Amino acid sequence: MKSFNIAVLSFMGTALLFIAGCAKYQAKPLARISIPSAAKEDNTVTFSYKVFSKNDCLYYLDRDVIAKGYQPIHISICNNTNQAYSFSLDNIAIPCVDHDIVAQTVHTSTAKRAASYGVGALFLPILLVPAVVDGLGSSEANQQLDRDFEHKALKDQVINPYTTVNGLIFVSTKDAHQPVTIALTDIKNSQQLILASRDICTQV
């Protein structure tokens, strides 16, 4: 009986250590995209972009969102003019998917993980302890993921003179092959400035 208790405690310790490494969200801040030389000239508005690979997703988002059907694209818009421009996701030619929808899709499933413990708990009730710990850890990881996706997502905003904005957009992998075109609106006169894919610097 004593050896059985030792075995159970040993198993519990291993399980808790395993859980601590699984129910986490760890992602790196977005790196800046190299600005094309043309963007350094006065009276120019340019944009650069990078289509994320699977490795980029894992590094910057800690999730393979491409496998879930969403393609992240990192966009940088450099406004080197004395004009302010309005930017809207609705004015990107490729339909964008809300970052909240993408985040929900790649959440850690607390229900599935809890169910896996539930079967074992029928035989070893002590497994209810790591199940609770794992559930709390998964919930916290999902909250961190939501905050990070929110922070990194490109949003509707005003691009002030001589500023650069950076962020991610998410599109369906079915639409990822489409050329990128962005329409900015001049705040003063409401005229549109079209940035077409041919104006984009080489992908990095």
The confidence score (pLDDT) of residue 11 equals 55
**What does the alpha-carbon distance between residue 178 and residue 95 come to, in Å, rounded to a whole number?**
10
At residue 199 the predicted structure's pLDDT band, cuts being 50, 70 and 90, is very low
The confidence score (pLDDT) of residue 136 equals 46
Sequence length of the chain is 204
**What does the alpha-carbon distance between residue 64 and residue 58 come to, in Å, rounded to a whole number?**
6
The number of beta carbons lying within 10 Å of the beta carbon of residue 43 is: 8
- Look at residues 137, 103, 146 and name the one whose alpha carbon lies nearest to residue 117: 137
pLDDT in tens, 11-26: 554 554 454 445 689 9
Mean pLDDT, range 122-141, rounded to an integer? 57
The confidence score (pLDDT) of residue 47 equals 87
* Residue in this structure with the two tokens 């035989």, named with its chain if needed: 123
At residue 95 the predicted structure's pLDDT band, cuts being 50, 70 and 90, is very high
| Contact yes or no for 85/157 (Cβ under 8 A) | no
Answer yes or no: is pLDDT of 169 > 70.
yes
* Residue in this structure with the two tokens 């990078």, named with its chain if needed: 50
At residue 160 the predicted structure's pLDDT band, cuts being 50, 70 and 90, is very high
Answer yes or no: is pLDDT of 158 > 60.
yes
Q: DSSP of the chain, one letter per residue?
A: -HHHHHHHHHHHHHHHHHHHHHS----PPPPPPPPPGGGGSTTEEEEEEEE--HHHHHHHTSS-GGGGTEEEEEEEEEEESSS-EEE-GGGBSSPBPPHHHHHHHT---HHHHHHHHHHHHTT-GGGHHHHHHHHHHHHHHHHHHHHHHHHHB--SEEE-TTEEEEEEEEEETTTTTSPP-EEEEETTT--EEEE-GGGSPPP-
Mean pLDDT, range 147-173, rounded to an integer? 97
At residue 6 the predicted structure's pLDDT band, cuts being 50, 70 and 90, is very low
The confidence score (pLDDT) of residue 134 equals 46
| Contact yes or no for 70/170 (Cβ under 8 A) | yes
Q: What is the residue extent of each domain of the chain?
A: 2-199
Handedness of CA 105, 129, 6, 124 (dihedral sign): negative
